[in-house]
Every structure is written in C-alpha cells, then in structure tokens.
Amino acid sequence: QVQFVESGGGLVQPGGSLRLSCAASGSINSIPAMGWYRQAPGKQRELVAYITSVGNTNYADSVKGRFTISRDNAKNTVYLQMNSLKPEDTAVYYCKGVDAVLFGRGSWGLGTQVTVSS
C-alpha cells in the first residue's frame, strides 16, 4: 500500500506563501488523481485541489488563483504552492488519491499544519 508523508507547513502571516510536499512511498503513476485536502478545527475535511495522472488540475473556488498543485512522477511527489494566504486557510493539510478517498480505501497520513495568523 502506498503511504504518503506531508511536509512544508508552518506559521505564516496573511499574504504569505508556503509550499507543501507530499512524498509517496511508491509509484503514483497509476493513481488517476492525487488530491490535497484540508481540515480545520470543527469543520469537515474538504478537497482543496487535485491533479490527474496526465496533468489536468482543478481547484476549490476558495483557493482558485492563489494555490497551484503540481506533480513530479519521477520523484513520486505532489506539491501545493500556496500564495496570498488567508486566515481561513488555516488547517491541517493532507494528500491522498481522490478515488481512494471516495471509496474509503487506505489511510490518511499525519498531515502538515498550516497556520495563517498575524
């Protein structure tokens, strides 16, 4: 089973930037779509962005124009570049295959904490 390790989170001021990394323990080439999710305290986990195996991307309206998802198949790594961060972006960020989430397969990693505060 492919495991994912998220990193790159931290504390930043509003308007700042962070780049998150999602390192997979195995190949991600056969995963149709990899997604970044986030969960804030008291809220449900939500899909932030995803990227397909051929490079198509999509974003939640709340982050469109500010976040960019990308992947490096040779390194089995997915990235999330976050710019113009807002306090409402504060959450724990996770990565996982979108289909695995939909079908309740696999397990979640530990995630990485992003805190946007002045």
pLDDT in 10s for each residue of the chain, 118 residues: 889 999 999 999 999 999 999 999 999 998 999 999 999 999 999 999 999 999 999 999 999 999 999 999 999 999 999 999 999 999 999 999 999 999 999 999 999 999 999 9
Q: Cα separation of 67 and 59, whole Å?
A: 8
**What pLDDT is stored for residue 1 in this prediction?**
81
Category of 43 on φ-ψ map: left (φ > 0), alpha (ψ -120 to 50) or beta:
beta
**Angle at alpha carbon of residue 50, lines to 9 and 47, rounded to 5°:** 70
